[in-house]
A and B are shown apart, each in its own frame.
Chain A
Amino acid sequence: MIKFENVTKKYDDFTALENFNLEIPTGCAYGLLGTNGAGKSTLLRILSGIYRTDSGKVTIDGEEIYDNAKAKQRILLISDETSQFNGMTLLQMKNFYKTFYSKFSDEKFEQLNNIVKLPTKKKLGGFSKGMKRQAAVICGISAGTDYLFLDEAFDGLDPSMRSEVKKMIIDAMCDNDMTVVTSSHNLHEIEEFCDTVGLLHHGNMLFNKDLGELKGNIHKVQCQFDKLPEKEDFPGLDILLIEEKNGFTNIIAKGSTDETLEKIKAKSPSVCDLIPLSLEEIFIYEMEALNYDRTELM
């Protein structure tokens, strides 16, 4: 389990994280959301033992990470920047990771490279951005660490490759009970890949929820009434929004599916369909409920 306890991190006058608390259970695929400068990369670098916190404690399975070789043996960060490997071939990059990670699997590496089919003897400087990402991901997965941290790892990948890479990571998670923390400002990536999401804003966690729970707890019901209803017409229902669109009334409400549908149907709509909500929509409504402007956050 990853645990942040009252962590504060400052860059001169700028506070990246302030009294930050978070727990990420083992085996979880955690998605970190937030705008540029929200503190996502800082959080991942603290997690990887690169940055030292100004105060507070960060542990992985009870062990502090910074300057702890033993703990760092179990984690690997795939950074958003890969130019440091430009002078290496994929084979050399593999050997680099193999040198420092005792569980590195050549077999796994071969297996993954058979999927992405990257040239092993060509310098990475000659690779496209997407290819470099693939190279980093297959090396990262092959390292066999318990924790894999991905900083904007899917940037630059085309949709099919993105899907392949995601599949690789999900397989690795299943095989090794790997915990993955990935940062992104793209909700779709997180939605497809993560089971828990957190939204960082100005160094604070605004939002930290299980995606299934999140999705299961907020509903969009498309109905047709003779007259546009008011929130007060549905007592006991936590309605976030009622709007009329294309002759239909859309009701966004929090609560269990059955209870929500039951209370709406009690008003005898001519049409009543449950429409799946995208993560983006869920975020919009949740944030609006917390009185945040979504444009500031995403």
Chain B
Amino acid sequence: MTEQSLCKSFFKSYLFYRIKQNSTFLVLCCILNILALPLFAISMNSGLKSLVTDFYQVSKFLSIVMIMALLIPAVLGALISYDFYTKKNLSDTIGSLPLSFKERFWADFLSGYITNVAPVIPCGIISVCILAASQGKFKVFCENHDAKEIPNLAAIGAALFFTVFIVLTFAYILTTVVVSSCGKPVSAALFTVIAAYGLPMSAGGIAGCFTCAATGMDVSSAFRNAFAFLPPVGLLEEVGGVLKYLIDLMSIGVPEKSYDFIVTKPVYISAYIILAAALIAAAYFIGKRRKTESTGSKISFKPSFYIICILSTIGVTLTLIVLTYHKTPVYLLISLIGGAVMCLINILIYFPKKKNILRCVFCGAGGLALSFAVFFLFDKTAAFGLRYIPEDGSKYEYLTADNVKLTDKDDISKYAKLLNESISDLNDSLGYNANFSTLDLEYKTSDGKVKKRSYAKVSNSDDMDFYDFSYILTELDSYGKFFFENLEKKEELNVSVILSDISIDIPKDKTEEFFSTIKREATEKYKKNAEAYGQARFESGGYVRYFYIQNDFTDTISLIENIGNLKETDPESTHIVISYNNDSKSYDSRRSISARVPYKNRRNENVKRLMELLNNDPEFKDYDDNFRIYFYGFSKYSYHVPNENVQEVIDIVTELAIEDIKSYDPATDPNNINSFAAVD
């Protein structure tokens, strides 16, 4: 036997020895997997569902069992597979065996993986087979008897198992990295949890801060996207999402949109392979560098602890910045405290010697400093200039903003310049106002790339600078072609018009008059391009377009005034919407109207009279008449309106609304605005 074959045979021997050693755990994992996954599949099968009496309870139970059955063994399994990293007597025995580190590492890694993660593969296959068989032999319907048959359940199941498989794989690999750095099982388990959250939270925090700097948008979706991508904890959300989707399938029927599985996209698969390889390389490096004699101490490879400490501090700090940035002026303080607490937790788990405490504090402070540096870097550089769109119109094929498609190069250039100018201090303009609407942009560059951007825009805010992105559109000569075409199409439909905060349906008998009026006035205004219009929003069914009605469309406004006179409108046929901060509420068989009152008009006669008519009790109390008026500013107030004053209140608010439409010009009068709304 050659020396080389001797070493090879010992690798195999050691691998089988480790698998044999973990055989009890292997059996346990198999049982848990068999309990969790195939049973879950069976529970989804209507043909076999008679086996269970309460589908929902069983589904919930199995979901919990499934996650517990899969995740805990993956973490515990890694801890058990690397028990010689945490037990001194074993580290001597294993360390003295005639194996190179490379052989030992791969044997340990593979044996643990085979024992703890691999059982999910046959169990997943069994489950998918059950689902596939169900599809052919039984009719699989959702709980709602009228709904369609659930399609392709086996494919959904297969994607689910693949997701679970990736979650488990990463839970195992991450635990391997952490346990290689720890000398005690408890510290390894705790740091695994911290690392499992720290990694996706850091990624989510960076993505969130970047998005915030680039668009001013609510960053929670960017945070969640980055967080959800990263296994194991992040991707566990995906598993939860799929399970919820499956339960929804069973209960409410086939949704319009099928579930978008992360793990079926090649780009994610590639990213997971790279990430897994990086983590395994880290585990190998740490295992090789760690000192055997540190077995039994909490941390056996200190650099790992410092990295976890920094990473978790960054994760918590950036996450808190993301969550509080647009909500409170003390967001930095909150983030600072959160990051410091995370650092303290790390130190308490480690509880090192005095001199190490200082290092830990430095790591925590470094993590905090790094977090703020990242945040301010993104913010001050406007996400490295990504906030802005190119100003050279010749680089575009088209640009669509607020559903308006621009193709004229000069118009695009003009729009891009105005937009870039208005968003230069985007986040400062937004301030601590978490309520904003969005401007959706899509543009195609001359090299054929289509890009989509969204920006936050304040729709109503007190004491805040306000700039309406949409107004920029009306300044363009070619504005309107797109709307004109749509306007033509809409003449035959039921139309409602939303003017600022008011929404009213145009009665059928008035539709033609309305369209001819607005067409005439728009044609007069945009002589240069007779297809252009101001802004109004025409709404019918699911088909929504936005237009601007300019102040000088006097006839159109007058027509709307008449239609919008609620006193003359049949409540049963009037669809009323209160629109505030992009949050629309519909009231069937009820009427509402709202109006914005510019800051400078707060003390005008109408407002003074309105306040006199209201009950001087801003508290919510039960009144028989159930008539209230709502004031929206920095906060929302509700006033009871005495019965005898109801009609006059409606009249005044209607008048205010009309004034609002007539006078509002954001370009020339960017004053602070309060919004009043009255509801009956």
Contact = CB atoms under 8 A, between A and B. Distances in A.
B95 A48 contact: yes
B351 interface: no
A216 to B, nearest CB: 36
B97 A72 contact: yes
A50 B101 contact: no
B293 A11 contact: yes
Contacts of B13: 99-100
A100 B93 contact: no
Interface stretch (A75-83, A240-248, A268-276): A75-83
Contact of B97 (A68, A83, A100, A102): A100
Contacts of B97: 72, 100
A264 B1 CA distance: 64
Contact of B99 (A48, A69, A84): A69
Contacts of B88: 81
A79 B98 CA distance: 16
A77 B17 contact: no
B3 to A, nearest CB: 6
A52 interface: yes
Contact of A51 (B1, B3, B14, B291): B291
Nearest to B294: A11
Residue among A49, A67, A73, A84 having the largest count of chain B Cβ atoms under 10 Å: A84
Contact of A77 (B87, B92, B291): B92
A96 interface: yes
Contact of B89 (A49, A69, A79, A102): A79
Contact of B14 (A45, A72, A83, A100): A100
A48 B95 CA distance: 8
B96 A72 contact: yes
Contact of B103 (A11, A69, A83): A69
Nearest to A84: B89
Interface in B16-36: 17
A296 B347 CA distance: 38
Interface in B251-303: 291-293
Contacts of B305: none
Contact of A102 (B1, B90, B101): B1
A128 B659 CA distance: 98
Given A79-B89, A99-B17, A67 B1 contact: no
A121 interface: no
A81 B89 contact: yes
A227 interface: no
A84 B96 contact: no
B91 A50 contact: yes
A100 B107 CA distance: 14
Interface size on A, as a range, is 20 to 34
Contacts of B7: 69-70
A197 B514 CA distance: 112
Interface in A242-298: none
Interface in B91-140: 91-93, 95-101, 103
B91 A100 contact: no
B10 interface: yes
A76 B97 CA distance: 8
Contacts of A99: 10, 13-14, 17
A67 B101 contact: yes
Given A69-B10, A72-B96, A100-B13, A84 B103 contact: no
Contacts of A49: 95-96
B6 interface: yes
Given A50-B95, A81-B89, A83-B89, A73 B6 contact: yes
Nearest to B17: A99
B10 to A, nearest CB: 6
A65 B6 CA distance: 17
Contacts of B93: 79, 84
B518 to A, nearest CB: 82
A30 interface: no
Contacts of A79: 89, 92-93
Interface residues of B, number: 26
A87 to B, nearest CB: 9
A101 interface: yes
Nearest to A85: B93
A102 B100 contact: no
A100 B92 contact: no
B104 to A, nearest CB: 9
Contacts of B90: 84
Contacts of B293: 11, 42, 45, 51
A50 B293 CA distance: 8
Contacts of B95: 45, 48-51
A285 to B, nearest CB: 35
B390 to A, nearest CB: 57
A77 B98 CA distance: 11
Contacts of B14: 99-100
Nearest to A82: B89
A11 B183 CA distance: 14
Contacts of B99: 69, 72, 100
A67 B6 contact: no
A2 to B, nearest CB: 15
A50 B92 CA distance: 6
Contacts of A101: 98
Nearest to A48: B96
A90 to B, nearest CB: 16
Contact of A72 (B17, B89, B98, B292): B98
A47 to B, nearest CB: 9
A57 B95 CA distance: 18
Contacts of A48: 92, 95-96
A176 B378 CA distance: 71
A208 B115 CA distance: 50
Contacts of A45: 92, 95, 292-293
Nearest to A11: B293
Contact of A69 (B92, B100, B291): B100
Contacts of A73: 6, 98
B17 to A, nearest CB: 6
Contact of B3 (A42, A70, A81): A70
A45 to B, nearest CB: 7
A69 B4 CA distance: 10
A179 to B, nearest CB: 16
B581 to A, nearest CB: 59
A38 B199 CA distance: 43
Given A79-B92, A99-B13, A100-B10, A69 B98 contact: yes
Contacts of A76: 96
Contacts of A83: 89
Interface string B79-90: 000000001111
Nearest to B11: A69
Contacts of A72: 96-99
Nearest to B83: A84
A52 B92 CA distance: 12
Nearest to B7: A69
A153 to B, nearest CB: 13
B101 A81 contact: no
Contacts of B96: 48-50, 72, 75-77
Contacts of B6: 69-70, 73, 102
Given A68-B100, A69-B100, A81-B92, 17 more contacts: A50-B95, A50-B292, A51-B292, A69-B10, A69-B99, A70-B98, A72-B97, A72-B99, A76-B96, A77-B96, A79-B93, A84-B89, A96-B17, A99-B10, A99-B13, A100-B13, A102-B1
**Closest A-B pairs by Cβ, 5 of them:** A50-B95, A72-B98, A73-B98, A81-B89, A48-B96
29 contacts: A42-B293, A45-B92, A45-B95, A51-B291, A52-B291, A69-B98, A69-B103, A70-B3, A70-B7, A70-B98, A72-B96, A72-B98, A72-B99, A73-B98, A76-B96, A77-B96, A79-B89, A79-B92, A79-B93, A81-B92, A82-B89, A83-B89, A84-B90, A84-B92, A99-B13, A99-B14, A99-B17, A100-B13, A102-B6
